[in-house]
Amino acid sequence: MNIKKILIILLCLKIILTFIFKYFSYQGNESMELREDLLFYFTEEDIKNGTEYSRRGFLGSIASLIIQFAFIGVLVFSPISSKIEDYFQTKTSGKFYPTALLFLTTFYVTEFFISLPFTYYFGYILEHKFGFSNMTNSDWIILQLKSFIVGIALVTLVGLLAIFVLKKFQKLWKIILPIGFIFIGLLFSILMPIIITPIFYEYSEIQEGSLKNKILELTKKAKIPTSKIYVINESKYSGHTNAYFVGWGENRKIFLYDTLINKNTEEEVISILGHEIGHWIHNHQVKGILFESVSLLILCFIISIIFNKAKEEGNLLLKEIYSPSSLPFIFLLISIFNMLTTPLENYISRSDETEADRESLILTNDKKSFISSEIKIARHNKSMLNPHPIAVKMYYTHPPTIERIKMAEDYNKK
């Protein structure tokens, strides 16, 4: 069986499995034992709200997936991708990098506008329906324009760098790209609070007072000192709550959504920040980048073998691996590879989240506030409280709320 047929089978398998997992995600877990556990902390209305929000736009998400799969399938299994590159070559007088730039730009713009109706439906219409979004139409348009500009800048820059490595180092690219990913990941984490966050959010330094003092005391106890604590004006856009650390060294900053501060007690905010500090203490961000780099290293060798085999067979219109028209083929291989690695990545992520939860309990020694904050976060964000176990394994980067609460309940039990 040739590579083309194998890829078609794998793509069809990925589509079928995705729909099956979506079905399990929609169904949830109807276990009576789980329901009894939930009703100890939540109301029937909380469970209903979480289920309805999780199921929002189910058919729309299916339609989006079908279109995305069709888009990449057409580019890979038809001559369109090769013809687009040939067309741009004539427009640039055969200059390679201008051709690559035009191809990357066209690819991103097409993908962006294909996704735009679904982005509007999920990010604006449904968010308003469920009482989260405070955005006007003009706010949403401005947000999408910012996302488009940042996205196209990142895609073209990173894409051209990758193409340069593929072309310049035709034997070593399989090693250079994963190493480069480490540096790009670290660089992005540094630039995030300096460049990216200010583009999308208005924020200001936290007011002097007891909350700031408690946060500084917590960071000092965790030996992660920082005086840069900011409050993001999230309420301008939505009612969702969040808090996170970004940056490194002197550029390390704490960001709190104003919605988080408004909807939680100071002790609950401290508990949530204790969790975020837990990620720093255990170097989860660095470990994540290293894991992705190892995965990329393996993937690069797989891509090299499959690409050379497919080109040799001649059933797909492939030029060189560094050719812009080869990118859809590479993206398809990445997508199929991710089908295998995503459950493992999510398992590691859930383990990291549990470790960060435990660290929060160690730092604050406040089980009560931890549990109450988990209840409030789930309630305010309309979280799915009874997810199907298969959906958890496939999609969840965080443990279900009830598992986190039970972990806290068992903390320090003799």
Residue with tokens 């109706």: 117
pLDDT of amino acid 174: 94
Burial (0-12, 13-18, 19+ Cβ within 10 Å), 90: exposed
3-class SS shares of the chain: helix, strand, coil, % to 5? 75, 5, 20
Residue with tokens 């910012």: 146
- Pair type for strands 203-205 and 243-246: unpaired
pLDDT of amino acid 227: 66
Helix axes 401-410, 367-380, angle to 10 degrees: 170
C-alpha 29/C-alpha 388 separation (Å) is 4
192, 216 contact by CB (below 8 A): no
Per-residue pLDDT band at 251 (split at 50, 70, 90): low
Q: What is the mean pLDDT of residues 379-392?
A: 94
Angle at 230 between CA 225 and CA 231, to 5 degrees: 140
pLDDT of amino acid 128: 92
- Pair type for strands 243-246 and 253-257: antiparallel
Question: For 9-23, 88-102, 170-184, 249-263, which range has the lowest pLDDT when averaged over its residues?
Answer: 249-263
pLDDT at position 414 over 60: no
Q: What is the mean pLDDT of the chain?
A: 91
Per-residue pLDDT band at 250 (split at 50, 70, 90): low
C-alpha 55/C-alpha 42 separation (Å) is 19
What ranges in 264-326 are assigned the alpha helix state H? 266-281, 284-313
**383-410: b or e for each residue (b if 16 or more CB lie within 10 Å)?**
bbbbbbebbbbbbbebbbbbbbbebbee
**123-151: b or e for each residue (b if 16 or more CB lie within 10 Å)?**
bbebbeeeebbebeeeebeebbeeeeeee
pLDDT of amino acid 153: 94
pLDDT per position as a tens digit, 123-168: 999 999 998 888 999 999 999 999 999 999 999 999 999 999 999 9
Question: For 38-52, 281-295, 378-392, which range has the lowest pLDDT when averaged over its residues?
Answer: 281-295
Per-residue pLDDT band at 242 (split at 50, 70, 90): confident
pLDDT of amino acid 225: 73
Counting residues of the chain whose pLDDT is more than 70, the rounded percentage is: 98
Token pair belonging to 316? 């797909």
Per-residue pLDDT band at 83 (split at 50, 70, 90): very high
Its pTM stands at 0.89
192, 247 contact by CB (below 8 A): yes
Token pair belonging to 366? 């406040």
Per-residue pLDDT band at 249 (split at 50, 70, 90): low
Q: What is the mean pLDDT of residues 52-60?
A: 90
The terminus-to-terminus CA distance of the chain in angstroms comes to 60
Q: How many CA atoms lie within 13 A of 79 on its CB side?
A: 5
pLDDT of amino acid 200: 87
326, 320 contact by CB (below 8 A): yes
State phi, psi for 253 to the nearest 5 degrees: -135, 150
pLDDT of amino acid 186: 80
C-alpha 35/C-alpha 92 separation (Å) is 63
State phi, psi for 411 to the nearest 5 degrees: -65, 130
Q: How many CA atoms lie within 13 A of 304 on its CB side?
A: 15
pLDDT of amino acid 154: 92
Residue with tokens 């191809």: 103
C-alpha 414/C-alpha 412 separation (Å) is 6
pLDDT per position as a tens digit, 304-359: 999 999 999 888 889 999 999 999 999 999 999 998 899 999 999 999 999 999 99
